[in-house]
Structure formats: structure tokens, C-alpha cells
Amino acid sequence: MSSVDKVLSARWVIPVDPSNSVLEEHSIAINKNRIHAVMPTKAARELFDTAEFIDLPNHAVIPGFVNAHTHAAMSLLRGVAEDLPLETWLQNYIWPLEQKWVSEDFVRAGTRLAFAEMIQSGTTCMNDMYFFPNVVGELAAKTGLRASLGMIVLEFPTIWASSADDYLQKGLEVHREFSSTNLVSTMFAPHAPYTVADAMFEKIASAAAEHSLRIHMHVHETRDEIENSLKMHGVRPIERLNQLGIVTENLIAVHATQLEENEIALFAEAKSSVAHCPKSNLKLSSGTCPAAQLLKNGVNVAIGTDSAASNNSLNMLEEMRFATLLAKNTPAGAANIPVHQALRMATINGARCLGLDADIGSLEAGKLADITALDLSELACLPVYDPVAQLVHAASRNQVTDVWVDGKRLLNNRKLTTIDETECADTAVRWGKKLRKSL
């Protein structure tokens, strides 16, 4: 017999790659932090000698969700300003609150709250954009959640940096600090075309090429953004970014709700990725990303939740559901973004946009053991004809029972193993009381 650390045996294993595959009564053998094999359970029990066989008899086991766009610390701002368009919400409420309250302690408390929610809803990797990315990286390493740190850049001063050049230098310091950390990666995160000047975009493009880093930014989020760019620069934001060397295979364009045919073609030609945030865009009345059209043109489209301040949830199950339903809400659109494609958007497509698809995003031998298990025996998911359809259209985050990242169990039968849930909740309540004084 062969020796491995553990074997997960499930009713269904959904590897994502190969596409559209569902493996019944299969097992995943894990050795150290990687998947050793995926095979029928009967064969696995005969082949492997292990101290830990984990039976998941009513479960679908999938690659952990990859949340392609978050502002984790903003979980402390969940629900502070409702029913407002983006510009009003951001400029009159969010930015003033951040200016008054953001600190290392704020980021640590908000990010821990977000990490707990993400793990409990099956996310194993997240792509962040916020101040104090070093604090987020330290917490990710301590908690065990995989994280991509956005090295944010703005033209105006904040508590994190005093100038655009200061943001850039501090970002590079964060990159150096975490360059050898297994769970943490980095990328540039200029906030948006309207908050970063041409000269800084050119510096970011140069630094990204030099350090082989990706660029993660809000792009074409609202109609106002387009109109303001035409007034100030004479071109739409994507054209301006392309002229500045930003639109490449390393770009992750977040939101992209305002796209013309030639811009979709440009993304496809450049091999850029798009992070689709359907719930946040709906809530802020920003528009809808043409995700189905992007996919049909060969653009890699991933899914993100955006922040809990604009979404009120960091639940990737819901985000998949909204992504496929929005795509179908067009004439003759029922076949748009079928359930297997929605799951790909939430897993392997997210891994690909982060440059991590060689290691995560699917359940294949040799990949890192980032795995989520969901119990499909809940009444709301019965009977099960197609487990992927149940995941996308019926399952809730309460059905996530177990989560592994890098082979380590972060959720064990619905219990967090690396975050004290009571302490996390108490801290969030205390912050809520403080922030309420500013509302």
C-alpha cells in the first residue's frame, strides 16, 4: 500500500478540469499540501495506507472558491450607507469614514471578519485591494487563507501613503516582504483610471514588467467614469490605459460594466482578465458586465464579491448564482453561462487571473490541496440530479462543512479552526459601536 497523509471520500468529486465532469463515489488522496491522486473510492481504500480517512457521504467536493476582487477590511463598513449610487456612496460616506477610522487595527479586525466569512462560505483564495496590505498578508499567513495582496496606488494621501510615489514604494516593500511566502502573493492595485495619473500608470506598467506582477484595478465601473474620461482625456478609460501600456495579459479589469465591442476584442487580443462582481454592481446601480459575451470572445472572466460594504456578503455561491442569472436575462439567453461554466468562473478562472492556475482552481494530481466540501443532503437541495446545478442554483453557504487550504483544515464540520469566532464577532461589534458615532 502507498502512504499519504489523508484521503477525502465523497459522494461527488467535481474537479472542474476536465470541464463538465462529475466523479461519483470518488476520493482525493492528499500528501503534505498537495493532491496526490483523484480516483474511485474503492480503489483508494485498497491502495492507500493513511491515518486519516475522511468520509463525506452526502457531499460535493470542489476546488475552493477564488474570490477575484475584494476589499476585505471593509467588512467593518457593512451596511453603513444603503440604497445609493456608487459616486454618492463612495464620496459622501465611504471615503470620509475611511479617512477618519482606517488604521492597522481597523484593517486587522475587518480582514479577520472577512476571512472568517470567506472560509465559512467555501473561499480558499482571495484577491484584495486595500490599505495596509502588509497587515492582510500577515493575517493570511497566520489564518491559513490564500491571499493575493493588492499594492494599492492613489494620487491623494491617506494614512497608508503620502503620495503616488510613496504608495508605489510601499507596495514594492510589501512585495519583497512576502515574496517567499507560500500562501501570499502580490500584485499592483492602482485604484481606478480616475484616481491615478498617466505618469504613475507608466511607472506601474514598467514596475509590473520588471517584477513579473499583475495589475488589478477598477475599470469601466460606471457610465460617469466613461463620460469624465472623455472630458478630461478625450478617450474612454480602456483606450487611455492601453496607450499607457496597462492593457496586457497581466491586467485584471474589475467590474467592466460599460464595454463596447472593440473593447471586448481588445481584452481578448491582450489576454486580459475581467473580475465580474454582479451583486455589488446591481446594488450600486453601476451596470452589468457583459460576462457571457466576454466569455464567448475568449476573455477569461472570474468572479469577485467586491466588499461587504457594497455587497453586504462575501458569499461566492450567491455570486455564481447572480452571474449566471444575469447572463440569462437577455433575449434567447437561457443557455448563457451554464452551471459548469459558472463554477469555472468561481474557481479555475479566478486562479488563472491571479496567475495561480498551475497550483489551484481544480482538483488534479499535483495541485495544492485547496478544497471545499458542501453537504447536499439539505432538503432545499433534494433530489440531486446534477450536483453542479444544485451548487449554483440551490445551495447555501450553511452547507459548506469543511475547507482545506494548502492541505490544512480551516473549517472542520462547520467550525473554524484558525480563527476564534467569538473573539472575531466581539471585535466587529466593538468597531461597529465606534463607527456608528460618525454616521
SS3 (DSSP) at 122: coil
CATH 3.10.20.440 given to domain 2-63+371-405: no
Long-range contacts of 246-251 (CB under 8 A, 24+ apart): 246/201, 246/204, 246/205, 246/215, 246/217, 247/272, 248/215, 248/272, 250/208, 250/213, 250/214, 250/215, 251/214, 251/215, 251/217
Task: Check pLDDT > 80 for residue 232.
Answer: yes
CA distance 394 to 396: 7
Query: Tell me, what's the pLDDT at 419?
Result: 98
Q: What is the pLDDT of residues 405-431, one digit of tens each?
A: 999 999 999 999 999 999 999 999 999
Fold identical between 2-63+371-405 and 65-353? Answer: no
Please report the pLDDT score of residue 331 as a whole number. Answer: 87
Average pLDDT of the segment spanning 15-41: 97
pLDDT tens for residues 237-293? 999 999 999 999 999 999 999 999 999 999 999 999 999 999 999 999 999 999 999
Statement: residue 51 has pLDDT above 90: no
Average pLDDT over residues 38-58: 93
Rounded to whole angstroms, the Cα distance separating 264 from 297 reads 7
Cell of 181: 511566502
Crossing angle of helices 133-143 and 104-120, in 10° steps, is 40
Confidence at residue 1, expressed as pLDDT on a 0 to 100 scale = 66
Nearest of 370, 293, 311, 324 to residue 15 by alpha carbon? 370
Res. 332: pLDDT tops 90: no
User: By CB neighbour count within 10 A (0-12 exposed, 13-18 middle, 19+ buried), where does 174 fall?
Assistant: buried
Q: What are the boundaries of each domain within the chain? A: 2-63+371-405, 65-353
Q: What is the mean pLDDT of residues 347-363?
A: 98
Q: What per-residue confidence (pLDDT) applies to 282?
A: 97
Question: What's the CA gap between 316 and 119, in Å, rounded?
Answer: 11
Res 181 pLDDT > 70: yes
Cell numbers placing 1: 500500500
With a CB cutoff of 8 Å and minimum separation 6, the contacts of 112 are 139, 143, 419, 424, 427
Q: Which three cell numbers stand for residue 248?
A: 496586457
Q: What pLDDT sits at residue 2?
A: 82
Quote the mean pLDDT of the chain: 97
Task: Please tell me the predicted confidence (pLDDT) of residue 439.
Answer: 80
User: Distance (Å, rounded) from C-alpha 98 to C-alpha 314?
Assistant: 20
Predicted local confidence at residue 330, as pLDDT: 87
Q: Which CATH superfamily hosts domain 65-353?
A: Metal-dependent hydrolases (3.20.20.140)
Mean pLDDT score, 106-110: 98
pLDDT at site 276: 98
State the pLDDT confidence band at 49, using cuts at 50, 70 and 90.
confident
d(CA 430, CA 437): 12
pLDDT tier at 146 (50, 70, 90 boundaries)? very high
For the chain, helix (H) and strand (E) counts, in that order, are: 18, 18
86-108 average pLDDT score? 94
Q: In the predicted model, what is the mean pLDDT of residues 299-306?
A: 98
Would you state the cell numbers that stand for residue 263, as one nine-digit string?
A: 473593447
pTM: 0.97
Reduced 3-state DSSP string for the chain: CEECCEEEEEEEECCCCCCCCCEEEEEEEEECCEEEEEEEHHHHHHHEECCCEEEEEEEEEEECEEEEEECHHHHHHCCCCCCCCHHHHHHHHHHHHHHHHCCHHHHHHHHHHHHHHHHHCCEEEEEECECCHHHHHHHHHHHCCEEEEEEEECCCCCCCCCCHHHHHHHHHHHHHHHCCCCCEEEEEEECCHHHCCHHHHHHHHHHHHHHCCCEEEEECCCHHHHHHHHHHHCCCHHHHHHHCCCCCCCEEEEECCCCCHHHHHHHHHHCCEEEECHHHHHHCCCCCCCHHHHHHCCCEEEECCCCHHHHCCCCHHHHHHHHHHHHHCCCCCCCCCCHHHHHHHCCHHHHHHCCCCCCCCCCCCCCECCEEEEECCCHHHCCCCCHHHHHHHCCCHHHEEEEEECCEEEEECCEECCCCHHHHHHHHHHHHHHHHCCC
